[in-house]
Amino acid sequence: MTHNVLVVDDEPKLCDLLASALSQNEITVFTAGNGLHALKVLECEDIDLVISDWRMPGMDGPQLLAEIKSRFPQLPVIVMTAYSTVKNAVQSMRNGAFDYIAKPFDIDELDITVSKALQFRDILKDNQRMRAELDEHQQIDSLVGDSPSFRRVLQAIDSVRESNATILLTGESGTGKEMVARAIHKHGNRADKPFVAVNCAAIPEGLLESEMFGHRKGAFTGAVADRIGRFQQADKGTLFLDEIGEMPLALQAKILRALQERVIEPVGDPRERKVDVRVIAATNKNLLDAVANKEFREDLYYRLNVFPIPLPALRERVEDIAPLARHFANTLGAAAGKRFSGFSAAALQAMANYSWPGNIRELQNCVERATIVASGSVIEEDDLPAYLFASRPSDSGVLIENNGVPADLEAALAQVEKSYILAALQQSNGVQAAAAQLIGISERSFWYRLKKLGIHVDKIVR
């Protein structure tokens, strides 16, 4: 197996020496003269191991180690130091280094240390791959439900899965858009080819074009080698563009051309590359509104909207809550070594009464918590998180009169609003920007509502 190793040292001769020594063992060596340059390489290349000097100008070895452990926590780092004191060695190990070698070092000793680090990296990658395969299996199996609205989704999947038509999945956050995309791929005519997922909102705008189309060596600072993009990675398979509504306008024209002409141009390379990709896009935005506001290209919208599949919110398929909850309890319980026979009637009723602003993702998190705290084989109402009951009239203090009509409409509306916000904060682990996105409002509007309703985020406990 070929590995990529990054050597970081401000002495070019030492970098060349290490490159020559390591390249004998099916290792591709990248070099960087300082910590900042190293970080740029790590952003662009799939590096398996970093070998870094301890003392360097600017960002030194300990600072680089701290940045790597923060950004790439599973990437092993070997520290080199000519100042081979026990203090430095122990400190580097405490800070997360895999090992250290002292200058001047023996080549055989270096080979042994590097070999151990790469074996460690391979084990981590295998574990990640197995977890990803398990997650994918669970996601496909999570297409659970028999409500009329969800049956329409399943019928749409069955109709389109064997075609190559571009698909646009719409719906609120957490409704299972990626699950549906994976199901279409797995049960379609490209099932044995790659499924490549890209979250358009998670990649910095400056890197998105390179991420999509790849780049040539030297195309920009930090492009130290050629790299293929997601379109080429997904060739003959499926490319899933999640949060397509967040894609910058400047890149939308290039995506449109890739869809129309089935060709791409890597950054820094004028030569076209043909690609055969089935595109599935997803968004929680109203793209027609975005088109009207000049935030999304109209021609790209119609190119994506060949076969639209709207996904219903969980509150619109209440009858699916119980089977979904049982599915999650069985799956998550088995992973934790527990077996559950089901939910009590009171627990099922409590889940049916809740509005689920975070949809299926929130339900899964809720059930996961319940499987942890449940002491018996049946999940009881008390095992469910407290925020599920925040909107009950008996808890809210809102008086209900005249066959369910609230005596104080403003107070009732405020309580409903508060329950949505609390649920979104629970779902996002207190991250306000993510909570605002969950319920479809701006961060500024979300902060205003927190203040108006007297909600203190630091006091919310999951």
Of 360, 390, 358, residue with least CA distance to 455 = 390
The pLDDT assigned to 400 comes to: 44
Confidence of residue 76 (pLDDT cuts 50, 70, 90): very high
CATH tag, 3-128? 3.40.50.2300
Q: Where are the domains of the chain?
A: 3-128, 142-312, 316-389, 397-462
Complete DSSP assignment for 256-290: HHHHHHSEE--BT--S-EE---EEEEEESS-HHHH
Q: Are the C-beta atoms of residues 49 and 121 closer than 8 Å to each other? A: yes
The pLDDT assigned to 16 comes to: 87
Task: Find the mean pLDDT for residues 101-116.
Answer: 84
pLDDT in tens, 325-375: 999 998 888 877 888 989 999 999 999 989 998 999 999 999 999 999 898
Q: Are the C-beta atoms of residues 30 and 6 closer than 8 Å to each other? A: yes
Residue 305 — φ and ψ, nearest 5°?
-85, 35
Question: 397-431: b or e for each residue (b if 16 or more CB lie within 10 Å)?
Answer: ebeeeeeeebeeeeebebbbebbbbbbbbbbbeee
pLDDT in tens, 213-223: 988 887 777 66
Fold of 142-312: Rossmann fold (3.40.50)
Confidence of residue 462 (pLDDT cuts 50, 70, 90): very low
Superfamily in which the 397-462 domain is placed by CATH: Homeodomain-like (1.10.10.60)
Same fold, 3-128 and 142-312: yes
Residues 88/93/98/102 CA torsion (nearest 10 deg): 20
Q: Looking at 132-141, 152-161, 172-181, 188-197, which range is the least confident one?
A: 132-141
Q: What is the 3-state secondary structure (H, E, C) of 173-236?
A: CCCCHHHHHHHHHHCCCCCCCCEEEEECCCCCHHHHHHHHHEECCCCCCCCCCCEECHHHHCCC
Residue 412 — φ and ψ, nearest 5°?
-65, -45
Burial (CB < 10 A; 0-12, 13-18, 19+), residue 208, is buried
- Count the neighbouring beta carbons within 10 Å of the beta carbon of residue 218: 12
Task: Find the mean pLDDT for residues 234-242.
Answer: 95
Q: Which CATH class is domain 316-389?
A: mainly alpha
Higher pLDDT, 325 or 201: 325
Task: Find the mean pLDDT for residues 439-454.
Answer: 78
pLDDT greater than 90 at residue 54: no
Complete DSSP assignment for 35-62: HHHHHHHHHHS--SEEEEES--SSS-HH
Q: What is the 3-state secondary structure (H, E, C) of 380-430?
A: CHHHCCHHHHCCCHHHHCCCEECCCEECCHHHHHHHHHHHHHHHHHHHCCC
The fraction of the chain above a pLDDT of 90, given in percent, is 40
As a whole number of angstroms, the distance between CA 346 and CA 352 comes to: 10
Q: Which two tokens stand for residue 321?
A: 């809550």
pLDDT greater than 60 at residue 401: no
Higher pLDDT, 27 or 308: 308
The pLDDT assigned to 397 comes to: 45
Task: Find the mean pLDDT for residues 119-137.
Answer: 67
Of 54, 43, 138, residue with least CA distance to 89 = 54
Higher pLDDT, 404 or 448: 448
pLDDT greater than 80 at residue 1: no
Q: How far is CA 284 from the centre of its chain?
A: 16
Of 141, 173, 115, residue with least CA distance to 334 = 141
pLDDT in tens, 177-190: 999 999 999 989 99
Residue 239 DSSP symbol: E
**How does the average pLDDT of the chain come out, rounded?**
84
- pTM for the structure as a whole: 0.58
